[in-house]
Amino acid sequence: MGTTCGLTIDPIYRYVRALVICFILLPCIQLSLGAKTRHFKWEVEYKYWSPDCIENIVMAINGQFPGPTIRAKVGDTINVELTNKLSTEGVVIHWHGIRQMGTPWADGTASISQCAINPGETYNYRFKVDKPGTYFYHGHLGMQRSAGLYGSLIVDLAEGEKEPFYYDGELNLLLSDWWHKNTHDQEIGLFTNPFRWVGESQSLLINGRGQYNCSLAAKFSSNTSISQCKLRGTEQCAPKILHVLPKKTYRLRLASATSLASLNLAIGNHKMLVVEADGNYVQPFEVDDLDIYSGESYSVLLTTNQDPSNNYWLSIGVRGRLPQTPQGLTILNYKPNSASKLPISAPPITPVWNDYNHSKAFTNKILALMGTPKPPVNHDRRIILLNTQNKINGYTKWALNNVSLVLPPTPYLGSIKYGLKNAFDQKNPPENFDSINYDVTKPPVNPNSTYGNGVYMLGFNTTVDVILQNANALNANVSEIHPWHLHGHDFWVLGYGDGKFSADKDEKKLNLKNPPLRNSAIIFPYGWTALRFVADNPGVWAFHCHIEPHLHMGMGVVFAEGVDRLSTIPSEGLTCGLTGKMFSGQKN
């Protein structure tokens, strides 16, 4: 480094370079591509709200529940200045489905990509949206998604680009589940011995709206104890009516932010054409109803080709768990009919909760649209993750290969970058389980497992296979659906199967021809799911069950790749734990 007049050249040069990049080059590049930076100032706070006609508290953004919808174009930069207005807890927001290429510190995962934002503090999420599609955002700390911290994020094609399908209009549905018990109470129950499970939700919400003490469809029900809702339409719990014109095609954007529920969505008398899954185009296929698991998103095309003198139901109902929650409902209003005109028959019946053949038939229809990138033919590494429900010192947990994840106080992104070896377990977590002796059809013989926070260090640009292996839970004859979500990447879903995965017999069944690219995939009860991805995005990435209480109980792992390639990580997100000490000059 040289000096001029006693000043080092390097800082001056860097300062000038930064000015040139920020104020001249970046705006020029953005202008030439028509891309924009979209600025948002958000404040997160608790607010009284009646999502299902019963007053409760929700996590609101700028006073809204659900949070504001972000709409951007491919190539745009999103800049959310998030201020934590909660009095006593931290907060983060994860941009679900956005891969954060080059900005892993904006992924919004507490303890992984950043420190939780303290009360009163502001964090700048700045990232590019590089792929069109239907996404959403949500809290990623404790049970803040269950508390209502979520909203939609929609990325349109860049100017001049065309979708591979046509539609006249668009409707956006963000689905969620809602409990009357507050999330602090839920959370403490999960960490109590004896265990107190959160139970099934009281309501299902469509765009943050449901009806608990009445039903829009009571008059069609044989249950006389439930009354017909009398809503003016201005209530927080009044359904968001879907206004359409006859003989048109609409794109319904669906995303599930549920904390627990797997849902089935149907529209009375209408078929739907599935065209997008998790921000990737799929080979279009027609369905009467669609399963959507927590963390998934879809676009379906709906043609309003039914009797225009009627309105129709849109319903969501619980799948995969014995439902104790009434269907969520709203109305597809064929204009110019009045929106308050009820459909002439009962809402669609949700398929029986444990009809897994129905779910599998739907899931197996999801294949990549031609032109979607294909997976590498071979993998460099295969990690097999056995999903089990366990006990640790009497506490009920979930574990992967017998390790139940407890996140460390220092975000991995910082501790890996700066080589802070005391920040987390340096041992590689187990790559496999004893697949010869473990009977996935029975409760674990030895249910005890251990806490851990080790990281799967992935070779940069290597091809990684993950086989998710489901098993029996602690109680006999119980195996649950788990929807798994990967941060920082899309993966190819190579296949699903029943029983224990066997490389000999199942390998040849994997689909390398047109597997869908997604960021979420489920494991069916007693089954396995095979995924493949390329570890090409420098950062530290969570991979976990998207059922929020399950993640909180340890059902996740952490992947890291290419962290050494990141030249700088903004210190703004690393002011806690050992990185916090490091930045304040203390010894760790």
The least CB distance from residue 396 to ligand ASC, in Å, is: 6
- What are the b/e assignments for 42-78, b being 16+ CB within 10 Å? bebbbbebebbbbebebbbbeeebbbbbbebbbbbbb
- Taking the least distance from each CB to ligand ASC, the nearer of 198 and 369 is 198
Binding mask 137-176 for ligand ASC (x = CB under 6 A): ----------------------------------------
Residue with tokens 């031609």: 370
Q: Nearest Cα to 134, choosing from 271, 241, 282? A: 282
The least CB distance from residue 472 to ligand ASC, in Å, is: 11
- Taking the least distance from each CB to ligand ASC, the nearer of 224 and 446 is 446
Burial of 179 from C-beta contacts in 10 A (0-12 / 13-18 / 19+): buried
The least CB distance from residue 211 to ligand ASC, in Å, is: 25
- Taking the least distance from each CB to ligand ASC, the nearer of 192 and 428 is 192
- Taking the least distance from each CB to ligand ASC, the nearer of 322 and 377 is 322
The least CB distance from residue 473 to ligand ASC, in Å, is: 5
- Taking the least distance from each CB to ligand ASC, the nearer of 48 and 197 is 197
Residue ranges in 537-566 that form contacts with ligand ASC under rule CB under 6 A = 550
The least CB distance from residue 398 to ligand ASC, in Å, is: 7
Binding-site size, ligand ASC (CB under 6 A): 5
The least CB distance from residue 454 to ligand ASC, in Å, is: 23
Cα three-residue angle 133-134-139, rounded to 5 degrees: 130
Tell me which residue has its CB nearest to ligand ASC.
Answer: 197
The least CB distance from residue 521 to ligand ASC, in Å, is: 18
Does position 48 interact with ligand ASC (CB under 6 A)? The reply is: no
CA-to-CA distance for 452 and 76, rounded, in angstroms?
A: 38
The least CB distance from residue 482 to ligand ASC, in Å, is: 9
Q: Are 50 and 234 in contact (CB under 8 A)?
A: no
264 token code pair: 């089935």
- Taking the least distance from each CB to ligand ASC, the nearer of 197 and 285 is 197
- Taking the least distance from each CB to ligand ASC, the nearer of 338 and 393 is 393
Q: What is the DSSP letter of 146?
A: T
CA-to-CA distance for 129 and 77, rounded, in angstroms?
A: 6
DSSP string, 228-293: BP---S-STTS---EEE-TT-EEEEEEEE--SS-EEEEEETT--EEEEEETTEEEEEEEESEEEE-
- Taking the least distance from each CB to ligand ASC, the nearer of 388 and 410 is 388
CA-to-CA distance for 311 and 295, rounded, in angstroms?
A: 30
- Taking the least distance from each CB to ligand ASC, the nearer of 121 and 200 is 200
Collapse the DSSP code of 426 into the 3-class scheme (helix H, G, I; strand E, B; otherwise coil) and give the result. coil
Residue ranges in 428-487 that form contacts with ligand ASC under rule CB under 6 A = 473, 480
The least CB distance from residue 199 to ligand ASC, in Å, is: 8
CA-to-CA distance for 353 and 359, rounded, in angstroms?
A: 10
Number of DSSP helices (H) and strands (E) in the chain, helices first = 8, 34
Does position 197 interact with ligand ASC (CB under 6 A)? The reply is: yes
Q: How far apart are the first and last CA of the chain?
A: 29
Beta sheet of 93-96, edge-to-edge order: 70-73, 150-156, 133-139, 93-96
Residues in touch with ligand ASC (CB under 6 A):
195, 197, 473, 480, 550
